[in-house]
Amino acid sequence: MGKLDGRVVVITGAARGQGEQEARLFVAEGARVVLADVRDEEAAAVARELGKDAALPVHLDVSQEADWAAAVAAAKDTFGKIDGLVNNAGILRFNELVNTPLEEFQQVVQVNQVGTFLGIRTVAPEIEAAGGGTIVNTSSYTGLTGMAYVGAYAATKHAVLGLTRVAAVELAAKGIRVNALCPGAIDTPMTNPAVLDPTADPEASAAGVAELYKRLVPLGRIGRPEEVAALALFLTSQDSSYITGQPFVVDGGWLAGVGLA
């Protein structure tokens, strides 16, 4: 018996990274999943692997209201209901606050913060209609503390925690629990040095990243997306039945304090 038998969960940003691992783990635990992303080909490839009885790829730009309505309609058409949501899609931009163009700041807000709001607003009534369920939002280490050069991103991740708390309070009576993930540094394309700086030597960059996290993180390494997915599963399953409105840190101890090594 799986921990998510009979559940139907929409996962945004599921084409790669943490969202992809969440989708794979949720299906392994018996759920049917909707892989919602702007990377249509990658989402379709993951869905093919998981099988059409278990996974439906849908095009969804989380910042677009009309896309949400269409994605929910497609999900219900295929699986009959929705009783879970993982708001995982997000983008990261590096800039000093004083040099951040307004357009860049607004772009990050539109995806990370407005996208999460639209997800809650669109999907919560569906979860209620299905008899209750769960919403897991994706905040960050930087939703709980500051970090240089990620001002727009940190602002949105703090906002996601505010949305999580308010949604938890408002939706509790409707049988919907709402919690948030706060990952530290996780090894995904978002943090891949080759993506962040295409001019860098990939091998030297990877070694540099490994060395950086060995020093910064008490557990001595960057996290794996599977380790975030395990927490998303806990918050989506009945194992967390008495928990709502909380941020959960998965960061190898980074927020607890810097390591000495």
Catalytic residue set:
153
If one asks whether residue 113 binds ligand NAD (CB under 6 A), the answer comes out as no
**φ and ψ of 126, to 5 deg:** -70, -40
The site for ligand NAD, by CB under 6 A, has a size of 31
Q: What is residue 141's three-state secondary structure?
A: helix
Residue 180 neighbours by CB distance under 10 Å: 29
Spatial CB neighbours of 231, under 8 Å, sequence gap ≥ 6: 181, 248, 250
Stretch that binds ligand NAD, among 37-45, 75-83, 99-107, 234-242 (CB under 6 A): 37-45
Stretch that binds ligand NAD, among 126-134, 178-186, 200-208, 230-238 (CB under 6 A): 178-186
If one asks whether residue 185 binds ligand NAD (CB under 6 A), the answer comes out as yes
Stretch that binds ligand NAD, among 50-58, 74-82, 138-146, 240-248 (CB under 6 A): 138-146
Q: How far apart are the first and last CA of the chain?
A: 43
Beta strands in the chain (DSSP E): 8-12, 32-37, 55-59, 84-87, 133-138, 176-183, 247-250
Find the binder of ligand NAD among 88, 164, 179, 236 (CB under 6 A). 88
Smallest distance from ligand NAD to CB 83, Å? 21
**CA–CA gap between residue 21 and residue 31 (Å, rounded):** 13
Q: Which stretches within 102-224 are classed as H helix?
A: 102-108, 115-129, 151-171, 193-196, 202-216
Find the binder of ligand NAD among 22, 37, 83, 126 (CB under 6 A). 37
If one asks whether residue 134 binds ligand NAD (CB under 6 A), the answer comes out as no
**CA–CA gap between residue 9 and residue 83 (Å, rounded):** 6
Spatial CB neighbours of 119, under 8 Å, sequence gap ≥ 6: 10, 12, 62, 68, 85, 87, 135
If one asks whether residue 137 binds ligand NAD (CB under 6 A), the answer comes out as no
If one asks whether residue 229 binds ligand NAD (CB under 6 A), the answer comes out as no
Report the Cα 218 to chain-centroid distance in Å.
24
Find the binder of ligand NAD among 190, 194, 209, 216 (CB under 6 A). 190
Q: What is residue 24's three-state secondary structure?
A: helix
Stretch that binds ligand NAD, among 26-34, 133-141, 205-213, 234-242 (CB under 6 A): 133-141
Give the x/- contact pattern for ligand NAD in 147-176, rule: CB under 6 A: ------------------------------
Nearer to ligand NAD, 62 or 130 (CB): 62
If one asks whether residue 12 binds ligand NAD (CB under 6 A), the answer comes out as yes
Nearer to ligand NAD, 129 or 207 (CB): 207
**Class of residue 258 by CB neighbours under 10 A (exposed 0-12, middle 13-18, buried 19+):** exposed
If one asks whether residue 240 binds ligand NAD (CB under 6 A), the answer comes out as no
Q: State the residues that interact with ligand NAD by CB under 6 A.
A: 12-13, 15-19, 37-39, 60-63, 88-92, 111, 115, 138, 140-141, 183, 185-186, 188-191
